[in-house]
Chain A
Amino acid sequence: MAQLFTPGADALYRLALMTGVACLVGLPVLAAGIVRSNYVTGVGIAPAQPLPFSHKHHSGELGIQCRYCHTTVDREATAGIPPTHTCMTCHSQIWTGSDMLKPVRDSYAQDKPLEWVRLNKLPQYVYYNHSVHVTKGIGCSTCHGDVTSMQMTYRANAFEMQFCLDCHRAPEKYVRTPDQVWNMTWAPPADQATLGPKLVAQYHIRGGERLTECGICHR
């Protein structure tokens, strides 16, 4: 009786086994990777907006302060998206004929709001308050990245729970002096290890266990 299996069958069998094992390990890794990929989280992807507004130009090159447009960032939960009126304070005077700015002028003339594509969004069971972070020495760039270098604005961080907890567990690593809050290119100074805990005490931040209690962000 002839052999049922050719000598090569063994190899095939081993290959199948190994593929199975690889899939068992690899598929979850792949899935986890996809979930965290920029494709899903949107990090680093600048979507098309009604007009190509450049933070790099306005905030970086011209040096317009964040709060000129995001007026409520240090007072309310939301930072605020500027009304068309804010754009027109300058653009009724400069670049009045620019094609690029036509949507702004149309919005103002027709009283139709601009519809920006949203970049940053938290799940509905997470409650975030801009004002308390900003007044407690957490700078814009910690979450939003170096906006002053973004020609087209994109999401800088995925805002997964891990991201928030990093800071809530050890605020002393991220906390800044009040004058540095608006600095988009801030990097921890050399003495952050000593300055941080001092600032945490000064701001009365109750770090560690208190800031990681569920009720701080979820309700």
Chain B
Amino acid sequence: MTGAPDIAALRAKLAGGDGPRFWRSLDAVADSPEFRAYLAAEFPSASRLAAAPERRGFLKLMAASFALGGLTACGGGGGRDHEVPYVNQPERIVPGTDLSYASSAVFDGFGNGILVTTRNGRPLKIEGNPQHPWSRGGTDVLAQASVLGLYDPFRSQAVQHLGRPSSWAAFRADLQGQMPGWRANRGEGLALLTGPVTSPGVAAQIARLRTAYPALRWYAGAGASRDGIYEGARRAYGRVLETHPDFSRARTIVALDGDFLDLGPGQVGLSRRWIEARRAAYAEGRLLTLHAAAPTPTLTSAKADHGIVVPAGRLEALARDLLSLAAGGAAPGGDDPVSRWARDAGTALNQARGAGIVTAGLSAGPELHELVHRLNGALGNTGATVIHTAPTEETGAGTLADLAEAMDHGAVKVLVVLGANPVYEAPGALDFAARMKRVPLKIHAGLYYDETGAHADWHLPAAHPLESWGDVRSLDGTVGLIQPTVAPLYNGRTLAEMLAFLAGGEGGESGQDALGLLKAQWRNEAEDDTAFETRFSQALRLGFWADSARPAETVALTQAAAAVPAAAPSSATAANGVEVVFRPDSTIWDGTHADLAWLQELPKPLTKVVWENVVAVSPGLAERAGIATGDILRVEAEGRTVEGPAWILPGQADDTVTLTLGYGRDVPDHLARGLGYASAPLRPPGSPWRLADARLTKTGERRMPVTTQHLGTMEGQDLVRVQPVGAPPVGDPKGAPTPASFYPPPESQDRWVAAQWGMAIDLDACIGCNACVTACQAENNIPVVGREEVEKGRWMGWLRVDRYYAGDLDAPSTHFQPVPCMHCEQAPCELGCPVEATLHDSEGLNLQVYNRCVGTRTCQSYCPYKVRRFNYLDYTGGMTPVEQQQRNPEVTVRSRGVMEKCTYCIQRITAARITSAKDAHAPIPDGTVETACQGACPTRAITFGNVADPGSQVSAARRDPREYALLGHLNTRPRTTYLAELAPAADSNGREG
């Protein structure tokens, strides 16, 4: 676990076939005595105490435990509560009953359709909106966690002037005094900075503002801006366009640093379209193959059927090779893996002309995007499988660099920053904070009093999307409506309201203007009131304007610029010279959401690190430079440095270091303060995602990142199965007799008359995005325990997503496996409990009865799947009242000393059972009960239902030849089963198949 691993030995072990076929971490491959000991200690934190040598100490501890144990029974309670009815009961609001509103989740300015479940006027849970044409019922981690963001006690709660509390009235008076002056000189010196804008309403207000002040300059900036994508399209087509892959018609996909499955504005919609196409292809007996080349592993490259590791600097050369292949040129020679991959991908694309997709991602440069457009054009994919539309983002804004330059010249007299955080996000070379000091009046509006707020004269609290009226476009252009589900908690205003005030000098005082602005935006001139109100309320009920997606446009490639001589692959040959690539963080994105504890404690999909970011290095680099995981590395370029703990990441390009955004925040009273490192200082303003040459040194210090990847290890078993297409099924044989059990059946079969609940998880569809984990946390009141507790192995998630590697250390294939409670029919945990706190009911649920549990933790050690979680401390106590508002009243908030685990969302089952019992005692229809994880999944990987009903979807999934039980040979008869991941039949890349 410590010290530099012997990478060469690991490599030999894996190559020689002595190592495990699927592995989770380098430590597991090394299988060192320290790692064995770590695993053997069921409760790593308790093992220290148990090892205490002296009898006296032990007895003292036990006595104290007994004495204090009694105290846990002394809860609050007592006293009489009050019942407070309404004076006038609003229509449709029934206390204690759910009410759902269609709205939109906002991701970096882009929308996804959601349904917000509210109860007693409080938003509690986000579900996907199945009717939304873009997101189709899926959600991502940010949408799931946005409900926590609403109740975040660290949110900005008041107007501040020069760091002191002030009021909206004072702000309005101050600005109204200055506005005549602005108007007189046509807004000279006014600068507006926003995040990415897709909202037609906000765009209209910006246009109005520019009419009022013609000389005003508008800039847009974000930590993860899409400028490269748009610039690439402009170079290829002469104008800015949005590019959409149409997977449904595709027969092969090639991703060059692609990110269509990764967290981002497109994840929900794109991953759904991808899996639907992949499922349709599988139904026809073929595989919708994904070829992926990436410098650093991503979720997209993890799901690749043919993956290859390529340094960022070589991607363009690779694209040129593919382009020459598409034009009938010779295949690249050479027997290195990259050339082989290029030949395979090129052949596949040539065979599927007009039915292939080449795609590049957010972090690919404009040059690569341009090449990808030309490649799609040459292959006849453009217009067939690759569709172009007008850009979803509003164009016409300047960049952060433009703004920094204008500020440097003293050309900016008033800077209005709405919903952006340039002081934190801007590349270090722009020196934004210092240049901002040259601006006489700085106004900042945001959800948080952040770095920029601290540098501004006026800070204004913005309204959260869950308390706002507004509109926002999804990636395909569909206009989603945002409607408030609660009155603004802290008197915040929406962006549109603030812009309207700036333009007109009035309004924006009541917080009630946003609805008026929204209606004015969408009302046709010719329309009468009634017609509009009908149309508007229909759209509100849907959550979006129907048929508002952008129409496809025909495009023509421009003449290619004189072929730039293929830039020599950046030779990072200087001693310790490395190439640095930057990526948005896979849970907190660009840091906008850094304050959400759910996201901080959400294990990053590939590293499983929590509460910080790491400096990812390749095993090869670690070997050469003697780097061990946890060594603090210094990355240095142009006099700026970043320091962070090393993480040896299999599948990382050699000599490439990955830094992520979003950490290293420096705002007092901020949850994220002091976590991780900020990578923005190193980002070159011209190429925000890649730094060709940097120096990497070891500082000599060490700090182990906290990870959950060793927790819940199920050692060396046949956990992940891969089904090559066309090969004999790898699933468990169907119809085999159930092995006899030593124990009597928990129920006599004749009692099994009710629904029998079961779950099937399709590993081919799981992209490891973690939406299920966050949804489970929101639904089931799962506490956040903090970095130190996770380090002790006390992570509380009921559902974890295991990540396995297979094959080569330097370029492994990656597999994800979500593991909830298996609800075993022969549950080992139930045998261990001395007080029957865990037992079965007649619907096959493995129940956990909190009020019986005495906390022996025997069940946890008996569970072969390691899915039980113990409340070592009072994790739920001491929450601020505003945070308590988020808790789901249908689920018990667990206190100290009890075991908990996945319940299959028993509260949802109960609600469905009660409804069916009250109706006609009819069986619960298939699909009525949707677990939280199932509902959140963008790729519909999870199926849940009645396994006793042969017609149910889950029964159909269980009949699939790919279906297998985890650790089935233990005869636990789990109700949760898996469908093996698909793989190509003949494996040309030497991957495990």
Contact = CB atoms under 8 A, between A and B. Distances in A.
Contacts of B80: 42, 47, 117-118
Contacts of A124: 892-893
B69 interface: no
Contact of B86 (A113, A115, A125): A113
B299 interface: no
Interface stretch (A5-13, A94-102, A206-214): A206-214
Contact of A112 (B87, B839, B847, B907): B87
B844 to A, nearest CB: 11
B82 A215 contact: no
Given A47-B80, A121-B81, A132-B917, A83 B87 contact: yes
B701 interface: no
A146 to B, nearest CB: 21
A127 interface: yes
A201 B94 CA distance: 32
A218 interface: yes
* Main SS at interface, chain B: loop
* Residue in A42, A112, A206 with the greatest tally of chain B CB atoms within 10 Å: A206
B715 interface: no
A125 B852 CA distance: 11
Interface in B110-130: none
Contact of B83 (A81, A112, A215, A219): A81
Contact of A219 (B89, B94, B96, B907): B907
B87 A117 contact: no
B865 interface: no
A197 B97 CA distance: 33
A218 B82 CA distance: 24
A214 B914 contact: no
B96 A77 contact: yes
B44 to A, nearest CB: 30
Contacts of B84: 113-116
Interface in A104-119: 107-108, 111-118
A209 B87 contact: no
B841 A78 contact: no
A185 interface: no
* Residue in B890, B906, B917, B921 with the greatest tally of chain A CB atoms within 10 Å: B917
B917 A204 contact: yes
A129 B842 contact: no
B903 A209 contact: no
A136 B686 CA distance: 71
B127 to A, nearest CB: 19
A214 B906 CA distance: 11
B532 interface: no
Nearest to B90: A83
Contacts of B918: 131-132, 135
A214 B839 contact: yes
B424 to A, nearest CB: 41
Interface string A135-174: 1100000000000000000000000000000000000000
Given A125-B850, A209-B751, A218-B849, A116 B82 contact: yes
A60 B714 CA distance: 65
B87 A115 contact: no
B674 to A, nearest CB: 35
A202 to B, nearest CB: 10
Nearest to B906: A219
Contacts of A47: 80
Nearest to A203: B921
A116 B849 contact: no
B917 A113 contact: no
Interface residues of B, number: 38
B94 A72 contact: yes
A82 B841 contact: no
A124 B851 CA distance: 10
B910 interface: yes
Contacts of A204: 917, 921
A51 to B, nearest CB: 13
A213 B913 CA distance: 14
Nearest to A218: B849
Given A118-B81, A213-B842, A218 B851 contact: yes
A78 to B, nearest CB: 4
A213 B85 contact: no
Contacts of B851: 123, 125, 218
B95 interface: yes
A124 B910 CA distance: 16
A84 B85 contact: yes
A131 B911 CA distance: 11
Given A47-B80, A209-B842, A215 B847 contact: yes
B88 interface: yes
B678 interface: no
B867 interface: no
A213 B847 contact: yes
Interface in B842-859: 842-843, 845, 847, 849-852
A219 B85 contact: no
Nearest to A42: B80
A214 B80 CA distance: 27
A26 interface: no
Nearest to B780: A219
Contacts of B8: none
Contacts of A84: 85-88
B703 to A, nearest CB: 40
Nearest to A136: B917
B620 to A, nearest CB: 51
B850 A115 contact: no
B892 A125 contact: yes
Nearest to A117: B80
B891 interface: yes
Contacts of A36: none
A67 interface: no
Nearest to B898: A125
Contact of B903 (A111, A129, A219): A219
Contacts of B891: 219
B758 to A, nearest CB: 16
Contacts of B906: 215, 219
Contacts of B96: 76-78
B966 to A, nearest CB: 23
B409 to A, nearest CB: 56
Interface string B641-668: 0000000000000000000000000000
A33 B798 CA distance: 41
Contacts of A81: 83, 85, 95
Nearest to B85: A81
Interface of A: 42, 47, 72, 76-78, 80-85, 107-108, 111-118, 121, 123-125, 127, 129, 131-132, 135-136, 204, 206, 209-210, 213-216, 218-219
19 contacts: A72-B97, A76-B94, A77-B96, A78-B96, A82-B85, A84-B88, A85-B88, A113-B84, A113-B85, A116-B82, A124-B893, A129-B914, A131-B918, A136-B917, A215-B841, A215-B906, A218-B847, A219-B892, A219-B910
Given A125-B850, A210-B754, A218-B851, 20 more contacts: A72-B94, A78-B97, A80-B85, A81-B95, A83-B89, A85-B88, A112-B87, A113-B84, A115-B84, A117-B80, A124-B893, A132-B917, A204-B917, A209-B751, A210-B842, A214-B847, A215-B841, A215-B843, A218-B849, A218-B892
Minimum-distance CB pairs A-B, first 8: A81-B85, A78-B96, A83-B86, A204-B921, A213-B841, A83-B89, A118-B81, A84-B87
Interface of B: 80-89, 94-97, 751, 754, 839, 841-843, 845, 847, 849-852, 890-893, 903, 906-907, 910, 914, 917-918, 921
